[in-house]
Amino acid sequence: MEYKIISDTGMNVSRIAQGTWAIGGWMWGGTDERESIRTIHAALDQGINLIDTAPVYGFGVSEEIVGKAIAERGHREKVFIATKVGLEWHDGSITRNSSPARIRQELQDSLRRLRTDYIDIYQVHWPDMAVPIEETARTMHALFKEGLIRAVGVSNYSPEQMNRFMSVSELHTVQPPYNLFERQIEGDVLPYVRKKNLSAFAYGPLCRGLLTGTMQPDTKFSGDDLRLSDPKFQPPLYAQYLSAVQQLDELAQERYAKNVMDIAVRWVLDQPGITTALWGARHPEELEAVAGALDWHLDADALAAIDQILRQKIASPIGPEFMAPPANNAVAA
Ligand code: NAP
């Protein structure tokens, strides 16, 4: 495993983290608790020491499974738990809420579900325009000072929102979407991360499975699977993305004797500013592929060839905006 320090914290986190949205089941067609726990144990066995979760993943289920898996294994102190705050749910629909009262309440709920008395990295999940960012930041700063959280993070924030946040609180980590097919952060968030020496956790490095090389033209999704609402998985875009995957796979094999999944994750890890890629595995055997992304680098020629494939194959790249939860209607100053 490769490791990297989160600036100003001394936390030496693995560059591949276990992402646990799918483990919560919601929007991923359900979950299996024992299989999920086996997956988390397999991640720890591989040297992964960072687990990313959120209350909203399965409405508590993901955090509970993470808590149980760590308790069964023991050595809580060897694992970095990254969880989130600021989304509430009612009858399956989500709204943003980063008010101080909500943050305090959610922290207690997360500590209970995770069976711990501190959170290593606490991240505001989505910006909430109904609450002044400074108010949210002040509460996060207070939790940090109280020792309840060891690092402060935000997710899906713009540089302007981070500027406001940092006028009141320390900020250590940023969690944006980032993968070969979703590169919007290169225009703003990633340069900001570098300039401010923050640590970025890239979510969706496999583009929800699209970059694994296992998706077929006739792959079907069912139930509440979010890929049913992801435009990349619908015609006519799906065929373009699959064609790009095939060419990327050929490039990986010819140049490095690797596959598309290996270069997709290596590409994320090689971008300056990226600390960690959050890998959304939910079966232990899916983590066997982690080794293929580690301990090598893409050279400049390969990076240029990758960009050329993307330009040729994908006429109008689209981002992950479809995932954004509805904004709270009220707008704060
Ligand atoms: P991802 O990691 O890009 O992709 C997950 C998909 O990859 C799943 O469909 C899984 O397949 C597949 N997969 C994983 N390993 C594989 C393997 N070895 N072979 C074949 N397929 C494999 O997407 P993600 O789960 O959306 O993102 C990762 C993590 O980022 C999440 O778990 C969560 O912690 C975080 N996240 C955060 C936010 C945010 O707003 N902050 C948003 C999204 C995600 P199966 O479905 O078959 O298991």
Query: pLDDT tens, 219-255?
Result: 998 888 889 999 999 999 999 999 999 999 999 999 9
pLDDT grade, residue 92 (50/70/90)? confident
Q: Which of 181, 189, 208 has most ligand 1 atoms within 8 Å of its beta carbon, as the pocket-test mutant?
A: 208
The reported pTM is 0.96
- CB of 282 sitting under 6 A from ligand 1: yes
Tell me the catalytic residues: 57
CATH of domain 11-212+265-297: 3.20.20.100
The CB of 208 under 6 Å from ligand 1? The reply is yes
Half-sphere exposure of 8 (CA within 13 A, CB side): 14
Peptide bond into 205 cis (omega under 30): no
280 CA distance to ligand 1 centroid (A)? 3
Q: Establish whether residue 207 lines the binding site of ligand 1, counting it when its CB lies within 6 angstroms of any ligand atom.
A: yes
Nearest protein Cα to ligand 1, atom 36: 203
What is the residue with the minimal CA distance to atom 34 of ligand 1?
A: 19
- Atom 7 in ligand 1: which residue has the minimum CA distance? 209
Amino acid, single-letter form, for residue 149:
I
Query: 210 alpha carbon to ligand 1 midpoint, in Å?
Result: 10
pLDDT in tens, 102-120: 999 999 999 999 999 999 9
Q: ∠ at Cα 194 (189, 195), nearest 5°?
A: 95
